[in-house]
Amino acid sequence: MLRRIKVGIIGGGGIGFTHIDALRRIEFVEITALADLNEDLALSYARKHNIPKAYGNYQELISDPKIEVVHIASPNHAHFPQAKAALEADKHVICEKPLGLNTEETSELARIAERKRMVTAVNFNIRFFPAIQQTKAMVQENELGDICIIRGWSLEDAFLHQTDYNWRMDPQKGGSSCVVATTGCHWLDLVQFTSGLTIDSVCADFTNVFPIRLRQREDKAYSPVKTGYEKKSTPLEEYASILMRFNNGAKGVLTLSEVSAGKRWDFFLEVSGLKGSIAWDLSQADKLWVGFRDKPNQILLRDPALFKPKVRGSIGAAPGQIEGYSDTFKKHFSRIYEYILEKKHLDKIEPDFPTFRVGHNIQSIVEAIVNSAKQGKWEKVMINR
Ligand SMILES: NC(=O)c1ccc[n+]([C@@H]2O[C@H](COP(=O)([O-])OP(=O)(O)OC[C@H]3O[C@@H](n4cnc5c(N)ncnc54)[C@H](O)[C@@H]3O)[C@@H](O)[C@H]2O)c1
């Protein structure tokens, strides 16, 4: 029988649940504890999800010697202290994106992980859609030719109203950017992963639609007195236009928005080479559009018979049975846990999932984008160790 790996989760909010749901589908993983800053929430969440232990602080969870792996699903500002403490306690760590608030934090985390030889991952889960794995394989096998143009966007309307407020808009909690750190970092990881290229320099223009937002006061749930809204300074961008130059000379353009009415999550990536193009749309994640100049274009469906042999292992459901966002968490975590189970880190086998080193790389690009927008000029991406 396989040994069961014991896991603790920090953060019982929206994405904490998706972690629990995905982990429950991996047979050799056992969730033994949950921590949240809000102890009442930790207790009720743990009870609801049948998790044996609940804590009101993460230190208690990390000090449990039976826990081997810590998942961090708390807001961005908590990632650094929590990941650092977990690594120092010899735990493997799976952290939500972005890895930290800035590159000082992310480089330190990557260095600690390497010194301690622990397994680390940043949850850039979109990589694990089978169509994305297929895109990468087609680029690797030179089916698109030399890549020259890359386009994309990530558009939402979650922050369209002045009364939309959450911690992502607070620089102390979200970091120096809003939309770039929230959905942009997924796209930046995806473009480098699929194209095999690196982003060399960027030129960005930001719009901060509401420098002041109205936050609902935290009234007691059952109080008849509602105290209304308070003004909060929200200086970060909800909209960004970004030009990119890649290391092979290819050019890219990315639009990011949290204020596009009617867009719940319109996420798109198109990679064009001298032989062909591929386009992928999250809302139709099982399809790839493949474009040619000299023969008819194709719609390639997610089907083991049509995808490349090395991609077939990433397909979870039969053709026609849609694979969704939460499936990518399961696939990502399965790879990490198989790696841990087989102790591949001790043999320094290259992980096939995004490590803290990747998280630091993406944070370096985010920082270059923020600096470019501040200074109004092209900015080179500097990746310091
Ligand atoms: N991979 C993805 O697609 C994806 C999607 C959504 C969110 N995220 C990331 O997940 C993280 C959490 O986002 P969310 O949407 O679940 O947020 P959320 O606000 O819904 O939940 C955060 C939870 O963390 C708790 N918390 C706050 N500070 C804490 C601390 N210091 N220690 C422990 N718990 C603390 C809060 O009480 C809350 O329960 C963010 O970093 C976000 O970027 C990733």
List pLDDT tens digits, range 5-59.
999 999 999 999 999 999 999 999 999 999 999 999 999 999 999 999 999 999 9
| pLDDT on residue 225 | 59
In the chain, the N- to C-terminal Cα span, in Å, equals 41
Does position 282 have pLDDT exceeding 70, yes or no? yes
Q: Is 369 touching ligand 1 by the criterion CB < 6 Å?
A: no
Is residue 151's pLDDT more than 60? yes
| pLDDT at residue number 115 | 96
Model confidence at 163: pLDDT above 60: yes
Give the atom of ligand 1 at the shortest distance from the alpha carbon of 125: 1
Cβ of 123 closer than 6 Å to ligand 1, yes or no, is yes
Q: Is 283 in the pocket of ligand 1 (CB under 6 A)?
A: no
Euclidean distance between CA atoms 148 and 277, whole angstroms: 10
In angstroms, what is the span from residue 96 Cα to ligand 1's centroid? 8
Same domain assignment for residues 215 and 247: yes
Kindly list the strands in the beta sheet with 69-72, ordered across the sheet, starting from the edge strand earlier in the chain: 53-55, 29-35, 5-10, 69-72, 92-95, 120-122
- The percent of residues in the chain predicted with pLDDT above 90, rounded, is 94
Q: Are 54 and 33 a contacting pair, CB within 8 Å?
A: yes
- What CATH number should be reported for the domain holding residue 186? 3.30.360.10
Q: Does 277 reside within a domain?
A: yes
Together in a domain, 231 and 342: no
| 271 and 159, same domain (yes or no) | yes
Q: Check whether residue 294 and residue 350 sit in a common domain.
A: no
Measured CA to CA, the distance from residue 146 to residue 334 in angstroms comes to 33
User: Which CATH number do you get for residue 27?
Assistant: 3.40.50.720
Q: Could you tell me if residue 233 is inside a domain?
A: yes
What would you measure as the largest C-alpha separation in the chain, in angstroms? 69
Q: Which atom of ligand 1 is nearest to the CA of 16?
A: 16
158: in domain: yes
Instruction: Give the pLDDT band (50/70/90) at residue 224.
Output: low
Rounded to whole angstroms, the Cα distance separating 9 from 49 reads 12
Whether 250 is covered by a domain: the verdict is: yes
pLDDT in tens, 341-353: 999 999 999 999 9
* Tokens, residue 316: 């979870």
What's the whole-number average pLDDT of the chain? 96
Q: Is it the case that residue 220 has pLDDT exceeding 90?
A: no
Is 128 close to ligand 1, i.e. is its CB under 6 Å away? Answer: no
- How close is the Cα of 382 to the center of ligand 1, in Å? 28
Let me know whether 199 and 282 are in one domain: yes
For position 175, what pLDDT does the model report? 96
Percent residues over pLDDT 70 in the chain: 97
Give pLDDT, residue 176. 95
For position 2, what pLDDT does the model report? 76
Separation in Å, CA 263 to CA 45, 132, 266, 335, 368 = 30, 22, 6, 32, 27
Look up tokens 């994106």; give the residue.
97
The per-residue pLDDT for range 106-128, each reduced to its tens digit, is 999 999 999 999 999 999 999 99
**Ligand 1 within 6 A of 277 CB?**
no
Q: State residue 228's pLDDT score.
A: 86
| φ/ψ of residue 120, rounded to 5 | -130, 155
Identify which of 9, 10, 15 to mutate to test ligand 1's pocket (most ligand atoms within 8 A of the CB).
15
**Is residue 115 located within the same domain as residue 135?**
no
Asked whether the predicted pLDDT for residue 200 surpasses 80, the reply is: yes
Confidence at residue 226, expressed as pLDDT on a 0 to 100 scale: 61
Q: Whose CA is nearest to atom 23 of ligand 1?
A: 13
For ligand 1, atom 31, name the residue with the nearest CA. Answer: 78
For the chain, list the strands marked E by DSSP. Answer: 5-10, 29-35, 53-55, 69-72, 92-95, 120-122, 147-155, 199-207, 212-216, 229-233, 239-246, 251-257, 266-273, 277-281, 287-291, 298-301, 379-380
The residue-averaged pLDDT of 293-316 equals: 96
User: Does residue 41 line the site of ligand 1, with CB under 6 A?
Assistant: yes
> Is 37 near ligand 1, meaning CB less than 6 Å away?
yes
For residue 154, the cross-strand partners are: 256, 267
Residue 13 CA, ligand 1 centroid: distance in Å: 5
Q: Within a domain: residue 375?
A: no
**Both 276 and 148 in a single domain?**
yes
pLDDT at 293 over 80: yes
Q: Are residues 25 and 76 in the same domain?
A: yes
Shared-domain flag, residues 98 and 228: no
**Average pLDDT value for residue range 154-166:** 96
Which residues, 6+ apart, have CB-to-CB distance to 381 below 8 Å?
A: 198, 199, 200, 201, 202, 364, 365, 368
Structure-model confidence comparison of residues 222 and 310, the more confident one: 310
Does 364 fall in a domain? Answer: no
**More confident: 379 or 216:** 379
Q: Is there an atom of ligand 1 within 6 Å of 125 CB?
A: yes
CA distance 32 to 52: 6
Q: What's the domain count of the chain?
A: 2
Does residue 265 lie in a domain region?
yes
Residues 151 and 204 in one domain: yes
Q: Which pLDDT score, from 0 to 100, does residue 173 have?
A: 97
* Shared-domain flag, residues 169 and 281: yes
pLDDT digits (tens, 9 = 90+) for 309-341: 999 999 999 988 989 999 999 999 999 999 999
Full domain range(s) for residue 147: 130-323
Q: 361 lies in a domain?
A: no
pLDDT class of 217 with cuts at 50, 70, 90? confident
150 and 299 housed in the same domain:
yes
